[in-house]
Amino acid sequence: MLADFVKREDFKKEKHVPVIEAPTKVRKNTPFEVKVTVGKEIPHPNTTEHHIRWIKVFFHPEGDPYVYEIGGYEFNAHGESVQGPNTGAVYTEPIVVTVVKLNESGKIIALSYCNIHGLWENSLDVVVEE
């Protein structure tokens, strides 16, 4: 199972677990911002050889048997260049900001993928008020 490979605890020198920043209480059907960052406290290297390739954000409503994908975000510039690794003009940072509306309470789930260290997950409970 894929779940057997998902990690939830960081290494001491590198941060891989996605950090979710969003309100824990929101009003029903009212837009709010969700920010997901990998390497918020200790930056992830994000080099040609070692980088975050993508972040996916999901929502699991309480009591629902299904999880809904909010969005998938790819990071494609890691300093690659014809001159060699880490000589390119652009590097992406693994930070995602999106706006969502919820009609039910549940859990926002973020999943990130490091090309060296694999899959990482975090979640945040959100209560929807009338």
Task: State the catalytic residues.
Answer: 14-16, 44, 50, 114, 117
The Cβ-side half-sphere exposure at 10, using a 13 Å CA radius, reads: 17
The Cβ-side half-sphere exposure at 41, using a 13 Å CA radius, reads: 11
- Say which amino acid occupies 22: A
The span from the CA of 121 to the CA of 76, in Å, is 20
Under DSSP, is residue 3 helix (H, G, I), strand (E, B) or coil? helix
DSSP strand pairing (95-100 vs 68-74)? unpaired
The span from the CA of 9 to the CA of 12, in Å, is 9
What is the H or E stretch that residue 69 is in? strand 68-74
